[in-house]
Structure 1
Amino acid sequence: MTSIELPTPSIEQEDELGLVEIAPDYIEEQVKCQAACPAHTDARRYIWLVSEGRFDEAYALNKIYNVVPGVLGRVCTRPCEVACRRADDDEPVAIRALKRASSDFKSDRWRMMMPEPQPPNGMSVGIVGAGPAGLAAAQDLALLGHAVTVYESLPMPGGMLVAGIPAYRLPRDIVEAEIADLLDYGVKIQCGVKIGGDIPLSRLLGMHHAVLVSAGCQKPMRLDIPGEDAQGVYPGLWFMEKINLTSDAPEEAREHGGNLDLTGKRVAVIGGGFTAVDCVRSAVRLGASEVQMVYRRGMDEMPSTPEEIHEAQVEGVGLVLLASPLEVSKDDNGAVRALKCVRNRLGVPDASGRRRPMAIEGSDFEIECDIVIAAISQEPDLSWIDIELELTRWGGIKVAPDTGMTSHQGLFAAGDFALGAASVIEAVADAHRAAEGIHRFLGGTNPLEKTLESSTLRGYKREMHVYEMPREEEPVIPVAERDDFTTEVEVGYSPEMAIEQAQRCYFCHIQVSQTESPCVVCGACVEVCPKDTIDLLRPDGSLVDPKEIMFPRRGMPDNDVLPASSPGDSASILIDDDACIRCGLCATHCPTGTLVMKDYYVQPQPVLLRTAK
């Protein structure tokens, strides 16, 4: 089987060159995109692969971490981009779009790069729910040699990927293809089987050596305001399920998801998250004459992304910010007449880190509307569980933080069912943790200790024009063509655009390292550094004043051996890694070989890459 080919000699080989070792934790902190990703996706490395046009390898690497890269390349909340160091200088690397590019432009070669499953170990695991968490855990466990059966109550797998997210954001053929890949690992998916109905949970526990519940959050949260029972008030979750699944939607969604003919209707959607944005954009497509999104905080605090909000506004959605609903006003027939709200101001941050909305006395106002959609959040439905479990103070299932096991031996929980309403990438990350916990529970090995591996990049130097390239947003189709639920709005990069955008990355896994070859204090590195990140430190602890150095001089330094600024002078080289852009100029122009560029990465990789028995 072919593996992803990257230069990765061991740290022991590097020691012979006299290079200074760096701690694994330090490298993890330096690669901020990977540190910010809940699943610790090796973004820096797949971006590197995309920058070289190696889409198959980039996709295989993504598949190991994310299970559904084509999905996450469209709907991930992008915490990596918030952390991206490039944003300190202009705008972050388009990391999510590059993940999608790895999916869009792969061939079948990526399959040859995936790890082989471990031999069957005789252990059986049942998974409740075929959403993101269930699928991620299924892949991990199957690759570790366990027999995995996933039980899904809907007629098709995917969970919220197919029930909650509209197809104009996430095409169904992408979801179906990536789920089908799991079958190659021997995963069995039984759809139309409701655990707690067709099979009681207590019985399921007797059918498998371990059971993972990843049933998501299926219970919409109430507004708890007067008039919520008015005709024309719909939960956002059920509204989207009815749109996406039609006759296959759960009974609650079919009965309470609302009338999908909104022609001429005025719609108010309460909430600021992804479900709320999906609701307003879907209402536009269903013919509503006016659609407004009511959110209690400001634009900067909205859980959804600025790009999603922008596209909603482009499609005609209005925003009512800093407003909280007080009451649904009814007409004489008990139907929605208006949504009564109050204006807010923002106070001190609450537990979420966002500033708390505080009502402004006497600022009540009404939004005239015919339909109110409550998309404020959802929570796990525990009504089907027929065994006694320890709960948290908030009424959720209590799980061990390191393994995901509940208070019942052999029963685990992951994803939204354990976390509460979360993002797809958070659900995938939680599933990795639970899968590792299940594996250890069934006799597998404990996690390996972190080690650092690296390679020296001789002659590494980047072209400086890549640091001037602006971020390009993904192209979208014209608004006039957004009149149905099947046409994808974002069309993604071309291969050429993806390669160019990937080259914007600073590749933070590359570090400037100092060898034992002595620095002669020539100042060449100080002169050529475009970000002024380098200082020279003498043995007595004093910094070298650039004015004292024989060089700098105008023009680029020669690669000749240069004399020290005084006989026997030497220095340590201090580099601000947070500001360094890894251009390689300092190492290229170092006349003594004191500076080299090194590629670091931390082992172990995710659990499914380990030799675990």
Structure 2
Amino acid sequence: MYKVNIPPCQMACPSGTNISKYIRLILEGDLYEAWKVNRAANVFPSICGRVCVHYCEGDCKRKDIKSRVGPYISTKPVAIRGLKRFITDNLTPDYVKRFLDETLPIKKNNKIVAVIGAGPAGLTVANDLILSGCEVEVFEALPEPGGMLRVGIPSYRLPTEVLMEEIDLLKKLGIKIRLNSALGRDVTLEGLRKDFDAVCVAIGAHKAMLMMIKGEELEGIFSGIDFLRKLSLGEDVDVKGKAVAVIGGGFTAADAARCALRQGAKPYVLYRRGKEEMPMDEEEKEALIKENIPIHYLTAPVEVISNDGKKAARLRCVKMELKEPDETDSRKDRRRRPVPIPDSEYEIEADIVIPAIAQKPDLSTFPEDFKINPDDYSTSMEGVYAGGDFLYDATTDVIKVIGQAHKASIRILKFLGQEPKLPDIPQKKRRNRSPWYFEDTQRLRREKFYGGWLDSSKEAYEEVEESTSQELAAYESSRCLQCDFFIDLKNDWTCHRCGNCVVSCPQGALEMVRGEVPPGQPEAWFNSGHWRTDETSKVLVNPEVCIQCGVCVMICPNKCISFVYRE
């Protein structure tokens, strides 16, 4: 949908990234400026180019194309995430120096802010505050920065060196990061509030939810996030040769199963709903299949069984069937309700059980009366604000966290009496030709961009998804409809109301309204045997249907139609 002339892809992006602009810059070969457009809204473009769930692609305007020229018109979205990665993978080595030369020195405002948590939310807040003139110190409980990006996403999806390059840039901007500094153990909220002008709590969702089944206390039970954290930090986790049952259907479950495979285990996944309801995306499901990791759909564990009373040995499971959603479920995305099938229990080998069903923030160090207001990111302690997963007491995805953290930063700056500093990025002109209408329709299909899996040519934790070529990036960029430019219709005396634009529009997005007025009315003019005014006789455009193809611009005999950029 459109709102205040914002393209649907940008509307769908939680951080509001100006996607159309950076795609035009790819076509112009200016990858540095394209990177700057990304970074203005998204502090971690190289990371999101790999692990973003790309809401933008789901709302790409290509899905609304009405084909008039055969079956080959592709309504598949532009591979926006892949183009973002192409930008960051092909920057010249001096891009950091260029950015620092343009950005530093930053005029200071004599405010100092503490951020608790060096994950995507905390580091986004730190970035916004440092660029706005604050001094920022980040306190991180783990021995390495990055939060869930570092310990919750395996290096075959997000290489550690890619993450550290992003964090190193933040340090060069002046952000200080204190590691091994846990809230409650090494620092207190009260102490930080006393020493700093404001505090942002962005501790992330690192506490795993339990399955609440019998035998969950046995040896050999790891939560998905604990398992991934141990592997990421180089801790010993012995699963080689063992049967590993991973419980869940999200990315953490997929990552845990694929990591177990890379550790020499025999993993499989149990999910209590069907394939269509599974939260992980199609590329991840395909990767599990390609790596020969079985997925048992409509299956739920009911008990972990031990042979010696100490260690896990088997799982007792039950088959499920899906019923209509519970009427008490108030969620917008209500899924069908899994219900156990009577007399369908069976046992399966499971030396290791990894529940990866959900996570939430650990609130054990906070007082019971500590409250969070999700509307303005404030808390019950004056000058203390919440960010990221901590705000909603649940886990979410990286780009949502980044978008929310930007809003928290604005609230903190407002509390401090400061204004956020936004980068100045000049606008680029629109391409004249539309890829939809003028180019070979068969070239408009979307090529495969995403996905990858372990094979004999790769090391265990080598990145599985490859970057794209310059040629493919240019082709994919040309599929963008440039929805940040809007049709501007001059409904004045220069328009003869001939209707050519309405007839020629391949989308049916234009409508001619012909209203009459009595003769002699002020500012009335005569057309086709009737008196009209600019208000009663005009051409209207439906921005929900228009695909910015430019046919009306080219066909108008009086040049009354043009593209106008609106940001």
Residue of 414, 418, 427 corresponding to 1:444:
418
Map of 2:341 onto structure 1: 361
Which one-letter code corresponds to 1:598 in the other structure? Answer: V
Verify: 1:260 aligned to 2:238, yes or no. Answer: yes
The whole-number CA distance in structure 2 between the counterparts of 1:366 and 1:269 is: 15
Shift of 1:424: 0.8
- Residues 446-471 of structure 1: CA deviation (Å, up to 9, x unaligned): 999xxxx9999696655622765111
The whole-number CA distance in structure 2 between the counterparts of 1:43 and 1:110 is: 22
- Residues 131-168 of structure 1: CA deviation (Å, up to 9, x unaligned): 10111001000011000011112222111111111000
What SS class does the counterpart of residue 480 from structure 1 fall into?
Answer: coil
Q: Is the 8 A contact 2:273 2:338 kept in 1?
A: no
Verify: 1:377 aligned to 2:380, yes or no. Answer: no
Verify: 1:590 aligned to 2:560, yes or no. Answer: no
Shift of 1:399: 2.7
Verify: 1:316 aligned to 2:292, yes or no. Answer: yes
The whole-number CA distance in structure 2 between the counterparts of 1:599 and 1:460 is: 16
Which one-letter code corresponds to 2:448 in the other structure? Answer: E
Change (3 A) 1:171 1:522: same
Moved more, 337-346 or 427-436: 337-346
What SS class does the counterpart of residue 322 from structure 2 fall into?
Answer: strand
What SS class does the counterpart of residue 41 from structure 2 fall into?
Answer: helix
Q: Which runs of 5+ in 2 are unaligned?
A: 66-74, 518-525
Change (3 A) 1:424 1:117: farther
Write out aligned runs for 1:57-456 (5 A).
Answer: 57-89=33-65, 90-107=75-92, 108-109=94-95, 112=98, 115=103, 118-247=106-235, 259-263=237-241, 265-289=242-266, 291-334=267-310, 335-348=312-325, 350-352=329-331, 353-362=333-342, 363-385=344-366, 387=367, 389-391=369-371, 398-402=372-376, 404-419=377-392, 420-445=394-419
Q: Is the 8 A contact 2:110 2:135 kept in 1?
A: yes
Change (3 A) 1:125 1:481: farther
Shift of 1:288: 2.2
Shift of 1:332: 3.9
What SS class does the counterpart of residue 301 from structure 2 fall into?
Answer: strand
Map of 1:32 onto structure 2: 8
Change (3 A) 1:55 1:61: same
Q: Is the 8 A contact 1:520 1:565 kept in 2?
A: no
The whole-number CA distance in structure 1 between the counterparts of 2:263 and 2:430 is: 56
The whole-number CA distance in structure 2 between the counterparts of 1:424 and 1:365 is: 38
The whole-number CA distance in structure 2 between the counterparts of 1:217 and 1:482 is: 35
Which one-letter code corresponds to 1:210 in the other structure? Answer: A
Give the aligned length. 531
The whole-number CA distance in structure 2 between the counterparts of 1:477 and 1:348 is: 34
Q: Is the 8 A contact 1:458 1:596 kept in 2?
A: no
Moved more, 584-593 or 115-124: 115-124
Shift of 1:535: 2.6
Shift of 1:409: 0.7
Which one-letter code corresponds to 1:238 in the other structure? Answer: D
What SS class does the counterpart of residue 29 from structure 2 fall into?
Answer: coil
Shift of 1:360: 4.0
- Residues 512-560 of structure 1: CA deviation (Å, up to 9, x unaligned): 111135432434323433333333221259xxxxxxxxxxxxxxxxxxx
What SS class does the counterpart of residue 325 from structure 2 fall into?
Answer: strand
Change (3 A) 1:220 1:477: closer
The whole-number CA distance in structure 1 between the counterparts of 2:174 and 2:420 is: 24
Map of 1:486 onto structure 2: 461
The whole-number CA distance in structure 1 between the counterparts of 2:323 and 2:86 is: 39
What TM-score do you get using the length of structure 2 for normalisation?
0.87
What SS class does the counterpart of residue 301 from structure 1 fall into?
Answer: coil
The whole-number CA distance in structure 2 between the counterparts of 1:564 and 1:308 is: 61
Which one-letter code corresponds to 1:377 in the other structure? Answer: A
Shift of 1:235: 0.7
Shift of 1:322: 2.6
Q: Which runs of 5+ in 1 are unaligned?
A: 1-23, 248-253, 392-397, 542-562, 602-613
The whole-number CA distance in structure 1 between the counterparts of 2:91 and 2:341 is: 57
Q: Percent identity?
A: 36
The whole-number CA distance in structure 2 between the counterparts of 1:115 and 1:587 is: 40
What SS class does the counterpart of residue 465 from structure 2 fall into?
Answer: coil
- Residues 156-209 of structure 1: CA deviation (Å, up to 9, x unaligned): 211111111100000111111111111222111112222321223322222211
Moved more, 195-204 or 36-45: 195-204
Moved more, 521-530 or 575-584: 521-530
What SS class does the counterpart of residue 299 from structure 1 fall into?
Answer: coil
Q: Is the 8 A contact 2:257 2:293 kept in 1?
A: yes
Q: Is the 8 A contact 1:56 1:110 kept in 2?
A: no
Shift of 1:280: 1.1
The alignment's C-alpha RMSD in Å is: 2.8
Which one-letter code corresponds to 1:474 in the other structure? Answer: F
Change (3 A) 1:540 1:268: farther
The whole-number CA distance in structure 2 between the counterparts of 1:351 and 1:320 is: 28
